[in-house]
Structure 1
C-alpha cells in the first residue's frame, strides 16, 4: 500500500490522463481549467455587463466539478497521502534561489520573500504579482485556453493551434526562467 504515498510514474499517470481524455471526447466535452473562471463569472451574473460572459453556463457545470476535484484532490494528496508536507524542490534549485536572496527556499514551496504577508508592502512585489496575474489571464484568453487545455485536450484532438500554443508556453517559460527571473532578482 506504500505505492499510494509515492509519485506515480508516467506509465501509470499518462494512461489515466489518456483514458480521461478519451472519455471526455466520447461524450463531446473539452477539458481546460481557464474556462472554469468564465463559467463562474457567468454563473455569478457577469453576463449582464459583459458579452463574453453572456452564455448558458449551465452546460459547463460539469467542468466546475473538475476544478473542485483538483482542489480537493490536491488537499487530500498533500495532507493525507504524503510523508513530506513540503513538496520536494531540486537541491540545485534551492541553492540558486538562496543565492538570489530567497532564504526560505527548501523550507517552503512558495518563497515567503515573494508570497508571504510581509512581501505586500513592497511595491516591486505588488507590481510583479499583479503584472504576472494579468499576463496569465490575458495569455489564457488570447491563446483561447490555458496550458492544461491546450496541452492535454487540444493536443489529444490533434489541433495545430494547440501545438503552437504549447510550444509558445515552453518558450515563454524558458525565457522567464533564464532571462527575466535573473534580471528581476
Structure 2
C-alpha cells in the first residue's frame, strides 16, 4: 500500500475540478452519465437491429466508454494499492446499530463481508441487496432517464427541471432505504 494517500482531496480542490469537467462537457456539447454507457455497449453489440432505442451513432459516445473504463481501472488500482490501512472512523452509535443489524466488524472494511462476498450473495439478504437491489437501480436509472451522476452532476449543472425532480426522488429513495428498508433486510 502507498502511504501518501491517507486523506481524500479537500473540497476546494475536488469541487472546482468537477466544475471544470462539467464546464468542458457542456462547452463541447456532451452529457455526463454512467448509465448511458450500457446503451452504448448494447449498440456496439448490434442491439440496434432488434430495438430502435439502441440504433444510434455509438461512435460519438466512445469518450464515455473510456471514462467508465478509467473508473474500473481506477477502482482496481485503489483497491489493490491505495487502501487506507486504518479502520474507518465511525461514531460509536453507528457501530452499535450496525452490529445490532448483523454487521460484525463495522468500520474494519469498506464493504462488509456479510453482504459483499460470494458467501453473502447466497443468503436471502445478500440476494435482496445485491441482485434485486441491482435490478432496481438499473430499472430506476432507465425509468428516470439517467443515473444519479448524470442527473445530479450534469443535469443540475445544465438547469434541467427533470434532473432536479430525479435528484429529489433519489434522495427520498435513499432515505427510505437507509432508515426503513435496510434495517429490515439486514435482520434477515
Which TM-score band applies after superposition, normalised by the shorter structure?
0.7 to 0.9
The equivalences for 1:124-143 within 5 A come to 124-143=125-144
- Over 3 Å counting, the alpha-carbon distance change for 1:53 and 1:104 in structure 2 is farther
TM-score, normalisation: structure 1? 0.88
> Which is worse superposed, 73-82 or 107-116?
73-82
- Over 3 Å counting, the alpha-carbon distance change for 1:50 and 1:85 in structure 2 is farther
Q: Which runs of 5+ in 2 are unaligned?
A: none
Distance apart, 1:135 and its partner CA: 0.8
Distance apart, 1:80 and its partner CA: 3.9
Aligned-partner Cα distance in 2 for 1:165–1:80: 36
Question: Does structure 1 retain, via aligned residues, the 8 Å contact 2:48–2:56?
Answer: yes
Distance apart, 1:86 and its partner CA: 7.1
1:9 is aligned to 10
Distance apart, 1:101 and its partner CA: 1.0
Aligned-partner Cα distance in 2 for 1:29–1:9: 27
2:106 is aligned to 105
2:95 is aligned to 94
1:18 is aligned to 19
- Please give the root-mean-square deviation of Cα atoms over the aligned residues, in Å: 2.2
Aligned-partner Cα distance in 1 for 2:179–2:155: 27
TM-score, normalisation: structure 2? 0.86
Give the number of equivalent residue pairs.
Answer: 183
**Secondary structure of the corresponding residue to residue 74 of structure 1:** helix
Distance apart, 1:105 and its partner CA: 2.6
- Over 3 Å counting, the alpha-carbon distance change for 1:116 and 1:3 in structure 2 is closer
Q: Does 1:31 align with 2:26?
A: no
1:153 is aligned to 154
Question: Does structure 2 retain, via aligned residues, the 8 Å contact 1:4–1:81?
Answer: yes
- Over 3 Å counting, the alpha-carbon distance change for 1:73 and 1:122 in structure 2 is closer
Distance apart, 1:127 and its partner CA: 3.8
Q: Which runs of 5+ in 1 are unaligned?
A: none
1:47 is aligned to 48
Distance apart, 1:54 and its partner CA: 2.0
* Bigger relative contact order, structure 1 or 2 (CA pairs below 8 A, ≥6 apart): 2
Question: Does structure 2 retain, via aligned residues, the 8 Å contact 1:104–1:112?
Answer: no
> Which is worse superposed, 140-149 or 115-124?
115-124
**Secondary structure of the corresponding residue to residue 114 of structure 2:** helix
